Structures are given as C-alpha cells and as structure tokens.
Amino acid sequence: MSTTLDLSQAARPPASAPNLTGLTREALRQALIAAGVAAPEKARMRAVQVWRWIHHYGLTDFAAMTDIAKDTRAALAENFSLARPEITSRQESSDGTIKWLIRFAPGVEVETVFIPDVAHSGALCVSSQVGCTLNCTFCHTGTQGLVRNLTAAEIVAQVQIARDDLGEWPTSMENRKLSNIVFMGMGEPLYNLENVAAALDIISDNEGIGISRRRITVSTSGVVPQLKALGETTGAMLAISLHATRDVLRDVLVPINRRYPLSELMAAIRAYPGLSNAKRVTFEYVMLKGVNDTPADALALVKLIAGVPAKINLIPFNPWPGAPYECSEPATIDAFASILKRAGYASPVRRPRGRDILAACGQLRSESEKLRASERRRLATPAA
C-alpha cells in the first residue's frame, strides 16, 4: 500500500533557489551542469536519479536521496529547491471532492480540485493561470481578472500536492486514486501553452508520475491559432468549452467567440492532430435555463458537430454568488440528452460534485476571503 513520506524535517533551501519540479528531463540535466553539481559526462545519470526521487517518490528533501553521494546531495540543496507551495486552505465536500487553495506568492493563488470516483478512478482539475481573461459569463473564474500565467513547476505542484494528500507516493500503477488530469480549472490553457506542454511532459513521464497522455485532457474556450500546436506538442485529449451553437449567443456566453467564431473553431477542430474515433474531442455544454437548452438547440448542436468524432458532456449549471443564470430543469436536460443520443453521440450528464464548497465546474475563484458557512447556507436556502 502506498504511503506518504514524512517530510516534516526537510531542509529549507535558499528562498531564491530555482525549483527543479518544473524542469523537463533535458532541462534538469542542463541545470545540474550549469550549477556545477554534476560533470557533463555524469549529468544524464544524475538527472535520472534526481528525477525519480522527485516524480516517483515525491521527495522534497535532497538529503533523503540515498543513492546519491552526500556531498552531491549537499550541493543540490545549496543550489536548488523542491519545496511545495503553501496550502492556504483545504476543503472536503460531503461527496468526497477535495479543493485546495494554493498560494505560490503573495496575491498569486489558484484552486485545484480532486474529484473521486470518475473516469478510471479519480480526476484532478488543475489550473493553468491565476484568474482568467475570457470573461465567460457563466463562470465564476471569469469575474476575477488575470494575475499571471502559472509556471510549469506551479502546474506540476498541483498534482504533487494532490498526491501528497492522497498518499500516492511512491507512484503505483495499480489502485491509484488519481488516474486522470483535466486542465479545466482556472485560466485558458492555450494562452499558457508553453508551460502547460512542459508540465504535461513531466506528468506523463513513465518514470515519474506516469499519467498517460490519453488520460490528460486540455480544455479550451477556442483559441483557434493554438489548437494545432496543442495537438502536435502535447498529444493531449481535447475538450472544447462550447455552450452555444449560434455566434450571437456564444458571443455573450464565451466572448472569445467574437474573435474566433464558430466556423473558424469547427474548422480547427476538424483539423486537430490525431482526431479519430479512438481519440474523440469532448464538447462541454453547460445547461442554462431558458438560454441554450431547447430541443432546437440540441438539434443545432448535432448539425454543428456533424462528422466530428466526439462526445458531449452536458454540465448542469453550478450556481455561484451573483450568477446571472439558473440551471436547466432535470427533465429539460434529459430531453436534450435524448436528442443527442438518438443522433449517435455519447452525452453523459455530468453529476455536480463539490457544490457545497464551490468546487464544481465553473465555481472556482482564488480569492483568499471565502464566503462564510452561514452566508453559503443563506444563498443555498430558497426564499420563503
């Protein structure tokens, strides 16, 4: 059975030391040479050792790397860091969903969510930016301005923190709780593609965390010029935050549509590298009462995606304080799904998870000051 290593006595590296967590294998090798920690002829072997300690065993203390000489471990500690970012808060939903508020620096925070019992085992929803620029009107994150992109190290750290909490070090391919990664948290991943791609390389490495690229999904609102690069550089599964079948409505719900309208988006999706029946695109469609949930909308969706190997995730709208929308009625969602299924598309209705801690799809926001429990109860209680 996997255990969590006791890192309470880990040595503290210098505050300015670069963190090795976000380096690819080649970048790690080069960093060891540049710091004088390893001679060029030994750097590849040393990088392999360090890599496994970081990404297979989850270490944050160079002193615990027992197959490396003590003087080399000391040099590593003098030059580099493996420190995790600060966990500002941890909340667990009544349904088992866990949400962490993670602080990378003052004013630089993101939320990361683990959802148990989905896909093969459990999925981790990671963030790629602090805040967002897209201003999708149904999304709580859209009410928060963009602070900055996350680095590859900060993206990988979200996975490490989840595995710390779940007790999944060292890496095991059997009975793991965290089996899937979805870039569906805060931010637009394609506006931070370089760091997302580097993090994905690290997360998917078989000698480290070892989550297959087929179990890593990147969701975009439709940054058309970057779609081809996403497919070519990452091999990740593609999800499209769609939500409307007409430009006039999508311009409101997903304002990036004004720059890249549906005709351009669908052309780019059809050209996505590797798209096939074995590698389908997922269309995400949030169900908004009286806005996009009619039978006519469902038929228009079928027509829009015709010929694209796809499945459609129907997402009941998850309310947040001040939201301008309501969730479609269950019967309306079922009728919508039935039309899609008759057309041959898998169209599961995503069961809301973590609503009671504002951890469900569209509810993430990284403000440190959260609603008090009494305020949440007031908002959740129907008016008399």
361 classed as catalytic? yes
Q: Of 125, 132, 136, 361, which residue is the catalytic one? A: 361
174 classed as catalytic? no
Q: Which helix (H) or strand (E) holds 273?
A: none
Give the contacts of 383 (CB within 8 A, at least 6 positions apart): none
Whole-number Cα distances in Å, 1 to 4, 134, 162, 180: 10, 43, 17, 20
CB atoms within 10 A of CB 229: 15
Q: Of 111, 154, 188, 284, which residue is the catalytic one? A: 111
Distance CA 187, CA 353 (A): 20
Q: Are 157 and 100 in contact (CB under 8 A)?
A: no
Q: Which helix (H) or strand (E) holds 362?
A: none
Give the contacts of 161 (CB within 8 A, at least 6 positions apart): 84, 85, 87, 100, 102, 112
Cα-Cα-Cα-Cα torsion 46, 48, 50, 52, nearest 10 degrees, comes to -160
Distance CA 154, CA 80 (A): 15
Closest-CA residue to 8 (of 158, 153, 164, 186): 164
Residues with catalytic annotation?
111, 361
